[in-house]
Amino acid sequence: MIHIIYGGGVRDSMKGDATAKGALQGSGGGLRTSGIAVGEADAVWVGVDVGACATKVVVIDARRDMRGYHVLRSGVDYAAASREGLEQALDAAGVPPGRIRRVTSTGYGRNNVPFADEVRTEIGCHMKGCFHYHPHAATIVDIGGQDCKVIHVDDRGRRVGFKMNRKCAAGTGAFLEETALRLGVDLSRLDSLARGASKRIRLGAYCTVFSATEILALIRRGESLEDIARGLLESVVQRILEMDPLEGTVILSGGVIHHNPFLARILEEKLGREVVVPPRPQFMGAFGAALYALEGEGEEAS
Amino acid sequence: MSTSGLPQRKEFRATARLKQLMADHFHQLDEAAKTGSAKIAWCTSVGPAELLRAMGFLVYFPENHGAMLGATRTAMDYIPAANAAGYSPDICSYLTSDVGAFLRGETPLRRAYGIERVPRPDVLVYNTNQCRDVQDWFHFYGRRFGVPVLGISSPRGVEELSSVHIADVAAQLEAMVPALEKIAGRPLDMDRLREVVALSKRCSDLWKEVLDTARSVPSPWTFFDHTIHMGPAVVARGTPEAVEYYEILLEELRERIEQGMAAVDGERHRLYWEGMPIWGKLRDLANLFMDLRCCIVASTYCNSWIFSAFDPEDPFRSMAHAYTDIFICHAEPWKERYIEERIREFQVDGILFHDAKTCPNNSNSRYGMPQRLQERLGLPALVVHGDLNDLRCYSEEQVRTNIEAFVEQLEER
């Protein structure tokens, strides 16, 4: 039950490029037309992040600019989702598939992207994407649909450690989905509801199912929807604070912060300092993957 | 990720001998259980097996059965039966899978050896040096079979083992003798005990020697091989067969080193495994690490069958010393020094901690140890969450992503 995944673009005017679509549909596994040298200036690199909930595709050029992007539900056929995502992102970028130089896949379904040249974990890719916007030592927090991660990166862009949440939905997008459903509100309304809260409600439980029970008790007690919504976002932040020390600059990445930017405000309050949210945080994994595709080109030849 | 040209797991010639030894062990027990030709004692893995063997008991190790249930993934059929009978999903999943299999009247011995049921015990003997769960596990069977349960309560969390600790355990061992003599129907022969202790010492020394061959770069074998070849050290220590087996294996390992044969072709990283094996995923994990060109060269778990203290001249005190000096009995600072030494000896460049949901005693990541070791040694550490047997506590994708990301991190160093 995801209602809010979508957006995408940069160059919407290019949508509907028949050439791009045609070339893709006939392409099967490989996308590039062999024997055609793509000049550096025209070339693009692609990152495909097949997440548990959403598939994100980013197209970048040699200047590392995001030329096009697209997000769609991952569904049950990751290969199809990644193809569809690529098609749309290329469309948005106004670039035909023949100009793709290299593709890196990441995310839950990273091994199901038939046209990928390279596979990387989403931990590496979120780090890479965020470091591009903030090239300093930092702590990156990626909150995804199914899991969350805390990644420590040094001032040279190398990870010095990372942690993934334990096997529980608490502190992830899945938790917000489940609880929004329980509250009968559309997931996309949570953020604005939380901003209207007038008091703090603390959700104590460690577990999504128990939290849902707690919410029932709050509803019974007559608490406002706004206060409960804020309580939910606070609990996501709380789960993250429990994972690992958030040292230095904190950068937030992933779909949950993309759709609930108020979460950054809550985290800032808890930490007592500003946190960084890169542009289009939901695409940081795919963007990082595209950067790996660009940088890894030399290695491949060796 | 490409699947062609991946390294292949290399089999050992000695495996045929290993299979025979394990089959003999179980058939002997089955025969005795059916005919009464010998008394049978069930023993915890670091219980007084030497004493039991010296008194003529055939020794059966339920933990080994637990590992078989895990490795065959049948544990998942049985754990729920034990849960329903009042044994919590939060306690040792060796216990719950073993008890569950018993309640269902099944055993992996049937498929492996054509043996219908586990051998009925005449006595159950535990040592709490590993955990309290073994005690409750054995009492379950004590009630079921109506046979005596004897045990040793060992000190835990010990920084340095002292003569007081050893004297305490030695006294408990000696106090057990009259009851065992009564069940065995014969007096303890001290010469025989010395002989068995000498054989156990020899087995332990050889086990250490074979494990130490992994110090070679590249390593001739991996943790995943160790978990298979440790069988004789687990079920047959104190017998000449176990000694003979490790002599054969050692020769083969030395051959591999001479030939420069690597267990993991193109070995790029050498890792340490801390914690229990994830029995039901050994093959998958072995392949994953092989694909990533990583060799797990040493582990606390497999090292735990090294008992350097055995001394035939002083059997009771040395047994007490050996049983109480195992890793799990010690305090955190001791454990950290122990791991640090292995890291140096085996030239390890990353540490993996397995936090096993149902085995707190073998999960050493819960009191800040990975953080302390990382800081002190400057080595990356990773904690993976799983379990020894209960795969309900294991997330394939999470573990894979964590391990792949960890290896990416090692590559960036």
Residue B1, C-beta contacts closer than 8 angstroms, at least 6 positions apart: A111, A119, B291
DSSP string over B170-219: HHHHHHHHHHHHHHHTS---HHHHHHHHHHHHHHHHHHHHHHHGGGSSS-
Q: Which of A158-172, B211-225, B230-244 has the lowest mean pLDDT?
A: A158-172
Average pLDDT over residues B298-318: 97
Sign of CA dihedral A292, A295, A297, A300: negative
- The answer to whether residues A129 and A147 touch, using CB atoms and an 8 Å cutoff, is no
* Closest CA of chain A from B399, distance in Å: 10
B277: preceding bond cis by omega (within 30 degrees): no
CB contact under 8 A, A162 and B409: yes
- Tally Cβ neighbours within 10 Å of residue B85: 12
C-beta pairs of A59-62 under 8 Å, 24+ apart in sequence:
A59/A89, A59/A90, A59/A92, A59/A93, A59/A95, A59/A290, A60/A287, A60/A290, A60/A291, A60/A294, A62/A294
CB contact under 8 A, A159 and B395: no
d(CA B281, CA B272): 17
Among B54, B71, B368, B380, residue whose Cα is nearest residue B186: B54
Of B1, B385, B397, the CB nearest to A166: B385
pLDDT at A149 over 80: yes
> Quick one: tokens of A57?
């595709």
pLDDT at A1 over 60: no
CB contact under 8 A, A147 and B398: yes
d(CA B266, CA B272): 18
Taking only the tens place, the pLDDT of each residue in A30-45 is 344 333 455 667 899 9
Q: Which residues of A touch B378 (CB under 8 A)?
A: none
pLDDT at B7 over 70: no
Beta strands A249-253 and A148-153, pairing class: unpaired
Of A123, A166, A167, the CB nearest to B401: A123
DSSP string over A77-110: -HHHHHHHHHHHHHHHHT--GGGEEEEEEESTTG
> Quick one: tokens of B310?
């055995």
pLDDT grade for B6, boundaries at 50, 70 and 90: low
> Any idea which architecture A8-121+286-301 has in CATH?
2-Layer Sandwich (3.30)
Residue B383's closest chain A neighbor by CA? Answer: A163
Taking only the tens place, the pLDDT of each residue in A103-139 is 999 999 999 999 999 999 999 999 999 999 999 999 9
Q: Which residues of A touch B404 (CB under 8 A)?
A: 121
Q: Report yes or no: A2 at the B interface, CB cutoff 8 Å.
A: no
Taking only the tens place, the pLDDT of each residue in B260-274 is 999 999 999 999 999
Helices (H) and strands (E) in chain A, counts: 11, 10
Q: Which of A83-92, A94-103, A231-240, B333-342 has the lowest mean pLDDT?
A: A231-240
β-bridge mates for residue A162, sequence order = A151
CATH of B15-412, one of 3.40.50.11900, 3.30.420.40, 3.40.50.300, 3.20.20.70: 3.40.50.11900
Among B231, B205, B211, residue whose Cα is nearest residue B223: B211
> Quick one: tokens of A144?
């995804």
Give residue B266's identity as a one-letter amino acid code: G
CB contact under 8 A, A164 and B397: no
pLDDT at A19 over 80: no
CB contact under 8 A, A167 and B393: yes
- Domain(s) labelled CATH 3.30.420.40 in chain A stretch across 8-121+286-301, 135-277
Instruction: Check if CATH label 3.30.420.40 holds for domain A135-277.
Output: yes
- The answer to whether residues B358 and B393 touch, using CB atoms and an 8 Å cutoff, is yes
The dihedrals phi and psi of A196, each to the nearest 5 degrees, come to -90, 10
Mean pLDDT of chain B, nearest integer: 96
Q: Which residues of B touch A147 (CB under 8 A)?
A: 398
ipTM of the complex: 0.85
With both helix axes pointing from N to C terminus, report the angle between B315-324 and B163-184 in degrees, rounded to the nearest 10.
110
d(CA B219, CA B256): 9
CB contact under 8 A, A167 and B398: yes
CB contact under 8 A, A158 and B413: yes
B-interface mutation test, from A49, A108, A123, A300, most B Cβ less than 10 A away: A123
Residues of B with CB under 8 A from a CB of A: 1, 374, 380, 383, 385, 393, 395, 397-398, 401-402, 404-405, 408-409, 412-413
Q: In what order do the strands lie in the sheet with B58-60?
A: B58-60, B40-43, B123-127, B149-152
| pLDDT, position A3 | 35
| pLDDT, position B5 | 56
Helices (H) and strands (E) in chain B, counts: 18, 8
Residue A126's closest chain B neighbor by CA? Answer: B405
Q: Report yes or no: A30 at the B interface, CB cutoff 8 Å.
A: no
Share of residues in chain B with pLDDT > 70 (%): 98
